[in-house]
């Protein structure tokens, strides 16, 4: 079997590339979906796998700018990866990953980033888990904060067509300092976040934008849906599904969440893709009642280790990390990491690991102590582990608030 991997040349090719993953959604790609992707992903960023002219698979990659601890890095947001059921276990995915990562390197994108539909798949291509993601389900009757201090500001409902400017500004301010977030273009916001397509409702209510203003300036927003429901006897049993809530200050964050948790005619407030250090967990008077469930978050692949390491900041000291990378052998080396970046070195290694383990430390989602304890890395000594964690300073937990 000879598999041909090529870039898409037009929207017809893009539709074919998307068809492999859409097969598992139970329908072909819609015109609307193809149009949205074409606006955000130029066809040449999508790949098509064929065998003798027969579709075998496809994948795409959004151009992204990813926030790192103390910096930014260009990244490929990998998406729409699928293999036709007729071509499973024939090396199609491996061939597409090979081509895609080579393309990322040529484009100067040191990092590839993705949500994994099946988490076991991508480790063999060098992807590592960057952090955990939290889903919460809060009963409105048990949604009190530890403090009853009054909130500040004024909340008003804003039409989605009028929400672009404040949402853009607030999100950009949050994303600039939170590892794992990526910059959103206006097209991205209008086509993915501030849009209310029928399929997005999943039988529920319309998308609502609530804007919090403090001193007449936008300080926070929440995007949510109200799914109305009534229990026996006319008891409200509705669900507020929080798509996203962002705030520029702790005070604004408390105010916008107090608004969400106080909505009438609902019994439950659900929110997903929260970082594990979200303030809600300490704000809550009864954190156990939030019914938190953890899941794997995004996975990252350091395509160019040197460039990726140079795109973040470090604490005092230095550490030598020996990286093994079978799939992208140009990364295999010992790397001296210190405050001024990373360089190849012949010095003895303090820590040795696969490139996927380095990805887990890269955004600060996991400490080197955790990685070593999980048998994903070996360390020369306990002191080396402690030194690695001082160098790889960690800020907030990685946060990716949406599936892409």
Catalytic residues: 122, 404
Q: Give the list of residues 6+ apart from residue 190 with CB closer than 8 angstroms, or none.
A: 164
Residue 35's φ and ψ, nearest 5 degrees, are: -60, -40
Instruction: Characterise 303 by phi-psi region: left (phi > 0), alpha (psi -120 to 50), beta (else).
Output: alpha
Distance CA 45, CA 62 (A): 7
Beta bridge partners of 55: 50
Helix (H) or strand (E) holding 208: strand 207-214
Exposed e or buried b per residue across 209-230, where buried means at least 16 C-beta atoms within 10 angstroms of its C-beta: bbbbbbeeebbbbbbbbbbeee
Question: Which tokens is 21 given?
Answer: 């993953």
Q: Which whole-number Å values give the CA distances from 71 to 105, 179, 390, 395, in the listed order? A: 19, 9, 17, 12
CB atoms within 10 A of CB 183: 14
CB atoms within 10 A of CB 291: 14
Comparing CA positions, the residue from 220, 221, 239, 243 lying closest to residue 229 is 239
DSSP class per residue in 228-252: --EEGGGEE-EEEEEEEEEESSHHH
Question: Which tokens is 37 given?
Answer: 């992707």
The runs of H, that is alpha helices, within 164-275 are 164-175, 186-188, 198-201, 250-261
Distance CA 328, CA 89 (A): 22
- The beta-strand segments (E) located in 52-150 are 54-68, 71-83, 111-114, 128-129, 132-139
């Amino acid at each position: 079997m000879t598999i041909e991997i090529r870039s898409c040349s037009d929207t017809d090719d893009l539709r074919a590339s998307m068809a492999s993953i859409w097969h598992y959604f139970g329908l072909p790609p819609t015109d609307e979906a193809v149009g949205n992707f074409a606006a955000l992903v130029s066809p040449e960023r999508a790949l098509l796998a064929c065998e003798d002219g027969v579709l075998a698979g496809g994948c795409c990659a959004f151009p992204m700018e990813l926030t790192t601890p103390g910096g930014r890095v260009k990244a490929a947001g990998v998406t729409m990866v699928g293999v036709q059921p007729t071509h499973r276990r024939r090396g199609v995915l491996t061939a597409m990953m090979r081509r895609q990562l080579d393309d990322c390197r040529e484009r100067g994108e040191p990092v590839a980033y993705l949500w994994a539909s099946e988490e076991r798949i991508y480790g063999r291509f060098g992807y590592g888990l960057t952090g955990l993601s939290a889903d919460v389900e809060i009963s409105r009757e048990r949604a009190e904060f530890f403090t009853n201090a009054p909130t500040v500001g004024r909340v008003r409902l804003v039409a989605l067509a009028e929400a672009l400017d404040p949402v853009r500004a607030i999100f950009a301010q949050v994303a600039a300092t939170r590892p794992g977030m990526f910059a959103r273009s206006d097209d991205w916001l209008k086509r993915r976040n501030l849009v209310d397509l029928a399929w997005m409702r999943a039988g529920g209510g319309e998308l609502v934008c609530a804007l919090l203003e403090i001193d007449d300036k936008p300080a926070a927003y929440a995007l949510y849906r109200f799914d109305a429901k009534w229990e026996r006897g006319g008891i409200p049993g509705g669900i507020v599904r929080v798509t996203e809530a962002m705030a520029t200050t702790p005070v604004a964050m408390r105010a916008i969440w107090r608004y969400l948790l106080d909505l009438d005619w609902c019994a439950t407030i659900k929110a997903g893709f929260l970082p594990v250090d979200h303030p809600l967990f300490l704000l809550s008077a009864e954190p156990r009642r939030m019914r938190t469930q953890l899941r794997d978050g995004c996975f990252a692949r350091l395509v160019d280790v040197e460039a990726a390491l140079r795109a973040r900041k470090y604490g005092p000291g230095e550490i030598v990390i020996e990286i093994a990378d079978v799939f992208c052998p140009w990364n295999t080396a010992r790397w001296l990491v210190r405050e001024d970046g990373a360089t190849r070195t012949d010095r003895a290694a303090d820590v040795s690991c696969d490139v996927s383990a380095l990805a887990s430390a890269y955004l600060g989602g996991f400490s080197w102590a955790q990685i070593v304890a999980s048998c994903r890395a070996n360390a020369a000594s306990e002191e080396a582990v402690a030194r690695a964690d001082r160098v790889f300073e960690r800020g907030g937990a990685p946060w990716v608030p949406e599936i892409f």
